[in-house]
Chain A
Amino acid sequence: QKEVEQNSGPLSVPEGAIASLNCTYSDRGSQSFFWYRQYSGKSPELIMFIYSNGDKEDGRFTAQLNKASQYVSLLIRDSQPSDSATYLCAVNNNAGGTSYGKLTFGQGTILTVHP
């Protein structure tokens, strides 16, 4: 089982729709969760982070965390063609131990928003 697994893509949504990206993780000690956006040929940029169960909203983006189910998701409302990119889920076990300070990344989900 992969440590961080994202829903297989690619995901294609029409402009204006809600894009839903999902991620599960195996380490129950994980405490910090991140979503990065990566345009083709570029480096990842942080768009959302969440530490507590529930929802966190920032503009058109909402991150959702359910630690009991070991599940984190990213919703993009009113999707735009400029949102077309690869989205990477990352998990940090910063409670100590050998994983301390290291982010583990999922394999990424390619999102395409078509006009």
Chain B
Amino acid sequence: DGGITQSPKYLFRKEGQNVTLSCEQNLNHDAMYWYRQDPGQGLRLIYYSQIVNDFQKGDIAEGYSVSREKKESFPLTVTSAQKNPTAFYLCASSINHGTYGYTFGSGTRLTVV
């Protein structure tokens, strides 16, 4: 079955540590996105990529980094510069620049310990 796989489902980060969230899709979608969700704040865009080897900052990119070396993969690194990383992270993909909406992965819940 086609879909988006995010891993891990739960992730714990120590202060000052970088962590990487994985996102893989087999839908042959060109565009991929990372969103952060905090309680009561909806989804906020971190980074997005419309083609391989190209990506753009979203609304809250500070403290995050991404790469898009393969069409299928769009990993997100939460760096130590992100001071409040505890949140639910959602990866999504789309065809035709989101005209038909996004397909979401199951999410990664990141907690600072």
A101 touches B42 (CB 8 A): no
Q: Which residues of B contact A45 (CB under 8 A)?
A: 104
Least CB distance from A43 to B in Å reads 4
B42 touches A88 (CB 8 A): yes
A107 touches B41 (CB 8 A): yes
Q: How large is the interface on A (under 10, 10 to 19, 20 to 34, 35 or more residues)?
A: 20 to 34
Contact residue among B31, B33, B50, B106 (Cβ-Cβ distance under 8 Å from A42): B106
B101 touches A106 (CB 8 A): no
Q: Is the interface of A mostly helix, strand, loop or mixed?
A: strand
Cα distance A61–B70 in the bound complex, in angstroms: 38
Chain B, residues 26-58, CB within 8 Å of chain A (1/0): the string is: 000001010100001111010010100000001
B99 touches A32 (CB 8 A): yes
Q: Is the interface of B mostly helix, strand, loop or mixed?
A: mixed
B63 within 8 A of A: no
Least CB distance from B92 to A in Å reads 8
Q: Which residues of A contact B105 (CB under 8 A)?
A: 43
B43 touches A94 (CB 8 A): no
A108 touches B99 (CB 8 A): no
Known interface pairs A46-B102, A107-B40. Does A101 touch B97 (Cβ–Cβ under 8 Å)?
A: yes
Q: Which residues of B contact A108 (CB under 8 A)?
A: 42
A101 touches B94 (CB 8 A): yes
A29 within 8 A of B: no
Report which A residues bind B (CB closer than 8 A).
Answer: 32, 34, 36, 42-46, 49, 88, 90, 92, 94, 100-108
